[in-house]
Amino acid sequence: MGRFDDRVAVITGAARGIGFATAQRFAAEGAAVAILDLDEAQAADAAARIEGTAIGIGCNVSDAASVEAAVDRVVAELGGIHILVNNAGITRDNLLFKMTEEDWDLVMGVHLKGAFLMTKAAQKHFVAQKYGKIVNLSSVSALGNRGQANYSAAKMGVQGFTRTLGIELGPFGVNANAVAPGFIATDMTDATAARVGMDVEDFRAAAAERNPVRRVGFPDDIAAAAAFLASDEASYITGQTLYVDGGATL
């Protein structure tokens, strides 16, 4: 018996990275999973690599019509929705004086508006069935990070959003929590290495050296935390942000 038997889990931005690892973990514990990502072909390809029931759906989380259509499809094809992981993310890093309005809006659009639109579409079902689990991806960057004024504002915004969801949706059997990862080895951090002109392995080694547990994180570290928070074992936990960072923020 798995923790997510008979549950349907939707994970955004899950064609790769943390989202894909989370989809794999949920499926391994019994969930039927819907992988949402910008590119339908990549989402479908990722779903085909999942062991268990999985579908891939093209969805831009910043677009209300796209979100509505995706959630409707999940319910029609998988028979419901019980868990939402708001994972889709982008970075557009630059020092404030060089940051463009477009890069500010893009980052806010994916992380904050995306989480808002997805949650609004899912909560209709959660409230009606008096059951739902929401896990939002924040970041250690929420606490401030040079070159990430847009991203850090969005990720701290995610924490405030999560607390408010906890208050508003708790009476309806819905838990909402956030995971704030530290350095996780994915395409996103590889892109940061490229931006600062470092070799990926050197960049990871430097991050590991600075970390109290002397390693970088991996997508499975975040998937494990998301799975706990989305499980019934965590039903007395809501509105919280769990830092999963090897102690980087201590």
Please give the Cα distance from 242 to 250 (Å, whole number): 13
- Is position 189 an interface residue for ligand NAP (rule: CB under 6 A)? yes
- Is position 50 an interface residue for ligand NAP (rule: CB under 6 A)? no
Q: Shortest approach of ligand NAP to residue 181 CB, angstroms? A: 4
DSSP β-bridge partners for residue 181: 244
Structure tokens at 191: 């892109």
Residue 127 sits at φ, ψ, to 5 deg, of -65, -40
From 1-9, 168-176, 182-190, 195-203, give the range in contact with ligand NAP by CB under 6 A. 182-190
- Is position 136 an interface residue for ligand NAP (rule: CB under 6 A)? no
Structure tokens at 218: 């991996």
- Is position 60 an interface residue for ligand NAP (rule: CB under 6 A)? yes
For residues 126 and 243, which CB has a smaller minimum distance to ligand NAP in the complex? Answer: 243
- Is position 153 an interface residue for ligand NAP (rule: CB under 6 A)? no
- Is position 19 an interface residue for ligand NAP (rule: CB under 6 A)? yes
Out of 13, 132, 147, 246, the residue judged to bind ligand NAP by CB under 6 A: 13
The DSSP code sequence of 79-145 is: S---EEEE-------B-GGG--HHHHHHHHIIIIIHHHHHHHHHHHHHHHHT-EEEEEE--GGGG--
Binding residues among 87-126 for ligand NAP as defined by CB under 6 A = 87-90, 110, 114
Q: Shortest approach of ligand NAP to residue 191 CB, angstroms? A: 7
Out of 159, 186, 231, 241, the residue judged to bind ligand NAP by CB under 6 A: 186
CA dihedral sign, ordered 5, 10, 15, 18: negative
Residue, CB closest to ligand NAP = 17
Q: Shortest approach of ligand NAP to residue 130 CB, angstroms? A: 28
Out of 61, 176, 178, 248, the residue judged to bind ligand NAP by CB under 6 A: 61
Cβ atoms of 29 and 17 closer than 8 Å: no
- 243 as an active site residue: the answer is no
Distances (CA, A) of 126 to 140, 152, 177, 180, 223: 29, 29, 15, 24, 22
Q: Shortest approach of ligand NAP to residue 97 CB, angstroms? A: 23
Out of 31, 47, 62, 248, the residue judged to bind ligand NAP by CB under 6 A: 62
Binding residues among 193-222 for ligand NAP as defined by CB under 6 A = none
Residues lying near ligand NAP in the complex (CB under 6 A): 12-13, 15-19, 37-39, 59-62, 87-90, 110, 114, 137, 139, 181, 183-184, 186-189
- Which positions are annotated as active-site residues? 151
